[in-house]
Amino acid sequence: MSVTPAAEKEPSAVLLRQGFGGHFIPLTSFGWPATRTDNGVPFASPNALFNLSKLSVWWLRLGIDIERIKPGCPQQNGRHERMHLTLKKETTKPAAANFLQQQAKFDDFIDCFNKERPHQALGMDCPADRYQPSPRRYTGLPDLDYPFHDKAVIVTTCGRICYNRKKINLSIVFAGQTVGIKQVEDHIWLASFMDYDLGYFDDETCRLRTTPKPLRAKSVTHVSDINRNLCVQNGPSEGWCPRTESNRRPSVYKTAFAH
């Protein structure tokens, strides 16, 4: 927790990277890494592809699943929101006179909250008594590979895919990321990021049409607007069949271009 005078100029990933460097990538109680957030900036971008942000794309690259609560339902992330209430009461009412004094109040709160204050949800233990480091230490971003695609392409800084002398607008949140391109029919191409199908484009209009929504919204959902497929690193597992969504809808790319 830190006070940043120009927070909008400081990427959230930088601050989180510092935390991952000294600590670890989070795990859920079920064992897989995940983070639960609301639908606001910097966790999501309302106008970006699938409402992803640069931060959430970075999380995906780290193998961290994204869980989003329903808009206007902070109770779905109740423990975190309750911590915010305590934080605001004890550190901002009243606020300190300057940044240094405010940072000192935050530091005192962190020490008290983790080491001195008993928590009812923990059987009146302190968080420091229950904390166990994750075995997944942050070591940087893994390389991406697309062995089942025709080509791997790096997204430009303006969020475009440049392929076969064509420019396809993807999203600026993927700038600098490597995506896989695969031809699925004459003049129709599939764009994938990691094990997510982003959408289809044709080489005439060069317009990306996103894939149909494969899952219904839940109270707390993973990023559910993207089709998953096994296309990265390890290749297909036993019983694997390509294009899961396409198997259910044989003409999914034709449907995407129907309008």
Best CA proximity match to 189, nearest among 170, 214, 171: 170
Can you name the residues that pair with 133 across neighbouring β-strands?
A: none
Q: What is the pLDDT of residue 8?
A: 30
Burial, 62: exposed, middle or buried (Cβ in 10 Å; 0-12, 13-18, 19+)?
buried
Q: What is the pLDDT of residue 205?
A: 87
pLDDT tens profile 138-155: 777 778 999 999 999 999
| Antiparallel, parallel or unpaired: β 178-185 and 151-154 | antiparallel
Q: What is the pTM of this model?
A: 0.70
All structural domains of the chain? 7-130 (3.30.420.10), 151-218+241-256 (no CATH)
Q: What is the pLDDT of residue 97?
A: 94
Under the banding of pLDDT at 50, 70 and 90, the label for residue 20 is low
> Which DSSP letter does residue 10 get?
S
**Residue 188 is inside which H or E element, if any?**
strand 188-193
Whether 200 and 191 have beta carbons less than 8 Å apart is answered as: yes
* Residue 60 pLDDT greater than 80, yes or no: yes
pLDDT tens profile 101-110: 999 999 999 9
> Which DSSP letter does residue 70 get?
P
Q: Alpha-carbon distance 119 to 147, whole Å?
A: 49
Q: Secondary structure of the chain: what % helix, strand, coil (to 5)?
A: 30, 20, 50
Q: What is the pLDDT of residue 247?
A: 38
Place of tokens 């259910």: 248
Q: Is 87 helix (H, G, I), strand (E, B) or coil?
A: helix
* Residue 250 pLDDT greater than 50, yes or no: no
Whether 99 and 1 have beta carbons less than 8 Å apart is answered as: no
pLDDT tens profile 178-218: 999 999 998 899 999 988 888 899 888 888 888 765 333 33
pLDDT tens profile 115-174: 999 988 889 999 899 987 777 777 777 789 999 999 999 999 999 999 888 899 999 999
